[in-house]
Structure 1
Amino acid sequence: MNDALRRAGSRLAMGVWLLGIWLLLWGRVDALTVIGGGIAVAAAYAASRLPAVPLVRRIRPLRVVEAVLEFSWDLLASSVVIGWHALYRPGHVRGAIIDVEMRSRSDLILLAVTNSISLRPGTILIDLDAERTVLRIHAVPVRGPQEADSMRDGVVRTEERLMRAFVTWEDAPPKEDR
């Protein structure tokens, strides 16, 4: 699929999404509401130059379930760790700023990774370099280089899970299409 066709499909998908939101806000579906929504969507695109939504080349449902389960486990485990540190000697908890190099060049995967680490207790994204190759995160608790490496490895594993679940055009070679 060429780049222009992908971009057009992406914009169409975003337009359908916005039209769906418009219809939900109005609470009814009739010709006038649909036509008005179409005009509103076209005006929104013209006024704001909305970005193209990244498209997924392939979704692997079992890998998606695996990624959700592993994220849920990470969420539970980090909540317990942060809760324990908040109750036991809260003044002695140390954090660190950690740089994590990303393999994926997909905006969708990058967005999912940054949301995932920001949703977990104890980690938050503080910077994303202009080249989109390095995430800078603040992590708690980190008492030394080994725990910093463990946090970094956790972010890399999250990216790998998401890359296995959602095959994007930026990360998969075109010949892999089956």
Structure 2
Amino acid sequence: MNELLRSVGSRLGMAVWLLAVWLLLWGRVDALTVIGGLAVVLLAYAVSRLPTVPLVTRVRPVPFAKAALEFAWELVVSSVVIGWHALRAPGRIRGAIIEVSARSRSELVLLAVTTSISLRPGTLLVDLDWERAVLRIHGMPVRGPGEADATRDGVLRTERRLMRAFPTPDDDTPPTEEESR
């Protein structure tokens, strides 16, 4: 029963998201637009296998606020770094594909990690192996193994922060402060 509720809740979450995107695209909320959006959502579910959205069952407010602030800081820093390299030597910026073994097995945490790193300038998710929880990230600028390791460590720090903010049954215990260092 609990699994059924989780599945229905996940699908309902995706349906609400699709309807919200539909309404934003139309730029208005009226009965006809909502009915049309519901029809499109039902049609999308009928003709495709849409992914479920993992449900957030617990949020730790302090670690979540810390993760959000650190994410905002990382956005600023990465924007400055990418901007500096783009202005200084636009043709010589080098990147690399970096493999990162995630500790989390939670779909929610992995989704949050992949979204976070893809929103950050200079990093982009290229591939995710769900079974092995391995992320392949394109990072830039990467001029050598040291910068590749720094990018990998940044992804793992993001994962640890999100594991503390969103504890899930899929992850036995969130990392401790000592593991964060």
TM-score (ref. length: structure 2): 0.76
- Number of residue pairs aligned between Structure 1 and Structure 2: 171
TM-score (ref. length: structure 1): 0.77
Separation of aligned partners in 1, 2:17 and 2:95 = 40
- Which of the residues 17, 20, 30 maps onto 1:28? 30
User: Per-residue displacement from partner, 1:50-85 (whole Å, max 9, x unpaired)?
Assistant: 333211220112222211110111111111111222
Q: Which amino acid aligns with 1:27?
A: V
- Conserved in 2, the CA contact under 8 Å of 1:55 and 1:169? no
Tell me the CA shift for residue 21 of structure 1.
6.3
Larger displacement relative to structure 2 (135-144 or 47-56): 47-56
Aligned equivalent of 2:159: 159
CA, structure 1 residues 153+6, in 2 after alignment: closer, same or farther (shift >3 Å)? same
Aligned equivalent of 1:73: 73
Query: Could you list the runs of 5+ residues in structure 2 that have no partner in the other structure?
Result: 174-181
Q: Which amino acid aligns with 2:29?
A: G
* Cα RMSD after superposing both structures: 2.9
User: Per-residue displacement from partner, 1:83-129 (whole Å, max 9, x unpaired)?
Assistant: 22222233443222211011112222222211211221211122223
Please tell me whether Structure 1 or Structure 2 has the larger radius of gyration of its CA atoms: 1
CA, structure 1 residues 35+80, in 2 after alignment: closer, same or farther (shift >3 Å)? closer
Query: Could you list the runs of 5+ residues in structure 1 that have no partner in the other structure?
Result: 174-178
Share of identical aligned residues, percent? Answer: 66
Tell me the CA shift for residue 22 of structure 1.
6.8
Separation of aligned partners in 2, 1:146 and 1:35 = 54
User: Per-residue displacement from partner, 1:126-170 (whole Å, max 9, x unpaired)?
Assistant: 222352511111111122222111110000011111111112342
